[in-house]
Amino acid sequence: MLIDLHTHSSVSDGTESPAELLATAKAAGLDVVALTDHDTTAGWAVAEAARPPGLTVIPGMELSCRWFPADQPPISVHLLAYLFDPDHPALAAERLRLRTERLGRAEKIVAALAADGHPVVWERIVEGCEGGVVGRPHIARALVEAGVADSVDHAFATLLHHGSPYYVAKADTEVRDGIALVRAAGGVPVFAHGLATARGRVVGDEAIVTMTEAGLLGLEVDHPDHTPQQREHLRGLADDLGLISTGSSDYHGANKPTPIAACTTDPGQLEALLAAGTGSAPLRD
């Protein structure tokens, strides 16, 4: 059984449509794939219609959250959510708020880049967002098209990283509120790439303990951005706290070099996740 529980389509910041993504998953030999676009469920219906026979699709999402330490600025925390009710009103409202927040902050980043002579046009970037979820990868692609950067990765390294003068934060969901919303909607919240230091500051173990007390059910242990030591630490923490351990590629199509199924989830851990999710059902034969 090959299981990849974290992928992005063009509905958020991946480059393949949900149908293309599922075809990629099937071609890579996956038995189970989760569609986890940022802050939206817009790909779920398309995925259901386009699902290749034999492939199980777990409906999911990656919710943009923040952890507020006592003595430092907030830390970005990505919360994977699986099998929740897409019509749960409070969670749907929070997704909408986050998408609106993304629009406002991306427009600010683009305006600042344009003011410094980088030829990026906001209208074109928004038009290029098929699913309506705008993120820095869309700005990165525009910078590549404009000849300002050689690649999406280069655009991040030079202009879009979290320490850049062009970086604008967004008012992401307080993570304990996000966990509570996902649980209220019958979903399974899993902390995504929790120790990926390349993305910015990461939380300490005490935050993960607090998140567990708030209802967190899993940790993404095997992720391309985690070192072997970070994976071992998270695996130990998951065992100590009674959490599900997952593994996934965080596939983004051509926006990242990582192939689908680069990291995978143990079938027993998937069973625990399926048993915990009550808000929606996996799509399967």
> CA 285 to CA 280: how far, in whole Å?
16
136 touches, from Fe ion, Zn ion, ligand AMP, none (C-beta below 5 to 8 Å by class): ligand AMP
Interaction between residue 224 and ligand AMP (CB under 6 A): no
Reference 78, options 180, 203, 162; nearest CA is 203
Q: What does the per-residue mask of binding to ligand AMP show for 255-284, with x meaning CB under 6 A?
A: xx----------------------------
> CA 162 to CA 282: how far, in whole Å?
35
Q: Tell me the closest approach of the beta carbon of residue 78 to Zn ion, in angstroms.
A: 6
> CA 273 to CA 155: how far, in whole Å?
36
* Torsional class of 29: left (φ above 0), alpha (ψ -120 to 50), beta (otherwise): left
205 touches, from ligand AMP, Zn ion, Fe ion, none (C-beta below 5 to 8 Å by class): none
Q: Which of 13, 16, 37, 94 binds ligand AMP (CB under 6 A)?
A: 13
CB contact at 8 A, 219 and 194: yes
Q: Tell me the closest approach of the beta carbon of residue 238 to Fe ion, in angstroms.
A: 18
Q: What does the per-residue mask of binding to Fe ion show for 56-95, with x meaning CB under 5 A?
A: ----------------------x-----------------
> CA 21 to CA 47: how far, in whole Å?
9
Interaction between residue 13 and Fe ion (CB under 5 A): yes
Interaction between residue 135 and ligand AMP (CB under 6 A): yes
Q: How many residues bind ligand AMP (CB under 6 A)?
A: 11
> CA 126 to CA 32: how far, in whole Å?
32
CB contact at 8 A, 220 and 208: no
Show contacts with Fe ion in window 179-198 (CB under 5 A): 192
Q: Tell me the closest approach of the beta carbon of residue 168 to ligand AMP, in angstroms.
A: 9
Tokens 């649980």 -> residue: 183
Interaction between residue 137 and ligand AMP (CB under 6 A): yes
Q: Tell me the closest approach of the beta carbon of residue 136 to Fe ion, in angstroms.
A: 8
CB contact at 8 A, 115 and 128: no
The angle at the Cα of 131, spanning 126 to 137, to the nearest 5 degrees, equals 60
Residues in contact with Fe ion by CB under 5 A are 13, 78, 192
Residues in contact with ligand AMP by CB under 6 A are 13, 38, 135-137, 152-153, 156, 252, 255-256
